[in-house]
Chain A
Amino acid sequence: MIPTTRMRLRQFLSRYFTNHDLKDEDDFFALGYVNSLFAMQLVLFVEQEFQFTIEDQDLDLDNFRSINALVKLIERKTAYAVS
């Protein structure tokens, strides 16, 4: 089975939320499990894993807040690249 975007994100996030059942709409930064380095590591992971560059205009916390938000961002950026 080809892993979906959601599955690939969950695999990365599972390293940071080991004792928490992370839901798709949970706000990572509000949960209190992660420090400020996580933001940078998340940006790097998304770029490497999904092969696109996060640009200045993408740097809005709302794009990175939850699995749902990330999926939207990734689909938008990769659809743009494909088209």
Chain B
Amino acid sequence: MRIQLTARQKRDQAAFRAFVEAEIVPYAAQFDQEERLPAEIIGKLTAAGYLGALLPETVGGLGMEMITFGLLHEEVGRGCSSVRSLLTVHSMVAYAILRWGSREQKACWLPKLGRGEVIAAFGLSEPAVGSDAKSIQTTAVQQDDGYVLTGQKRWITGGQIAGLFLIFAQCAGKATAFLVERERQGLRTEPIRGLLGTRGSMLAEVHLDHCWVPAGNRLGGVGFGFTAVALSALDVGRYSVACGCVGIGRACLEASLQYSNQRQQFGVYLKDHQLIQQMITNMITNVRAATLLCYEAGYLKETNSSRAAQAVLVAKYFASTMATQAANDAVQIHGANGCSREYPVQRYLRDAKIMEIIEGSTQIQQLLIAGGAY
């Protein structure tokens, strides 16, 4: 057994890191304060091919295997969780179409998603429905060789700029997934602002007011099809969030090492104070553990193991709770400076907290993990 990235994976990780250092890190505070991702960063992600990370090269994607996909999300997450969130949801929808789409849907959408011509968003959550996803209230009624969608989605990452939405609705009492273009009559979005974290991830409410889509826009079957479409997309989402949290953890550790090596109190550097060392040790250990859990999850996904789903849950659960703890300690180490916009650790803490809520809250992960053990 060898737990080691391949030479190719290491090269790719270095390339991701260089991209993030140049194009994301210098602007992350601005994305957070202005609560938006400018078109320029979307353009840079597109040019680098990262929006098509999971898609085959035949449709303009990068055809990444799962470990490398995870490394991409780790590096981007280290720079900015808002950017990483957008990559996540776009990849989730792209993957759902790749995996479950009809020939026509794949031909229509995969090239556009792969080249970043259209941003995709995942429309599951509603004002009254979060964890209890099966209870979604948006309806789809068959009409004129298509479906009329009515309802409201909330907390939709990328919803302000997406050109394509994967909307989940109840169709004759069975949950079903639909691809809905922004231009469809009856679809309207409203920005959501003032969030605690991932403030730049362009969240929106999506209002569907008798929005008709042709039958060809239904993705997967009715009922069970929803389960397969939603769960396989959420699995990709959870895995990328887990890897993004490893990135947050690393960012917290790097910031804390730097700060404690520069700042002095009581005549010595902070790093010489044992209670600071304790927090640094916990960060080092937990970031390393989360990294290995993500590697395992990526490996099991890549090899289509039946143990992959459980491994992804464990990785997401541990990495997100680890990120919050690491960020909490990073702010503590920075003291009052940690509460100031001049230092990034306050943003890491706010973003980390969001990671404990999205893609299945910490409590849902705990229920699913224990449930899968029997």
Binding site for B on A (CB under 8 A): 12, 18, 35-37, 39-41, 43-45, 47-48, 56-57, 59-61, 64
Contact = CB atoms under 8 A, between A and B. Distances in A.
Nearest to A64: B224
A44 B225 CA distance: 14
Interface string B74-114: 00000000000000000000000000111000000000000
Contact of B231 (A12, A40, A47, A61): A40
B335 interface: no
B285 interface: no
Given A39-B228, A60-B224, 17 more contacts: A12-B306, A18-B374, A35-B372, A37-B310, A37-B313, A37-B372, A40-B231, A41-B309, A44-B309, A48-B306, A56-B219, A56-B221, A56-B225, A59-B228, A60-B221, A60-B225, A61-B223
A54 to B, nearest CB: 8
Given A56-B101, A56-B220, A61-B224, A39 B231 contact: yes
29 contacts: A18-B374, A36-B134, A36-B227, A37-B231, A37-B310, A37-B372, A39-B224, A39-B231, A40-B227, A40-B228, A40-B235, A40-B309, A41-B306, A43-B228, A44-B306, A47-B304, A48-B306, A56-B100, A56-B101, A56-B102, A56-B219, A56-B220, A56-B221, A57-B221, A59-B221, A59-B225, A60-B224, A60-B225, A64-B224
Contact of A44 (B100, B224, B308, B371): B308
Nearest to B218: A56
Q: What secondary structure prevails in chain B residues at the interface with A? A: helix
Nearest to B231: A40
A11 to B, nearest CB: 12
Contacts of B224: 39, 59-61, 64
B215 interface: no
Nearest to A42: B306
Contacts, number: 55
B276 to A, nearest CB: 41
A59 B100 contact: yes
B232 interface: yes
B368 interface: yes
B132 to A, nearest CB: 12
A60 B224 CA distance: 6
A57 to B, nearest CB: 8
Contacts of B310: 37
Nearest to B220: A59
A43 to B, nearest CB: 6
Contacts of A57: 221
A12 B100 CA distance: 24
A44 B310 CA distance: 13
B46 to A, nearest CB: 28
A41 B301 CA distance: 11
Nearest to B301: A44
A83 to B, nearest CB: 21
A57 B219 CA distance: 10
Nearest to A29: B224
Nearest to A49: B306
Interface in B282-320: 304, 306, 308-310, 313
State the 9 A-B residue pairs at the shortest beta-carbon distance, nearest first.
Answer: A61-B224, A59-B221, A59-B225, A40-B231, A39-B227, A45-B306, A48-B304, A41-B306, A37-B309
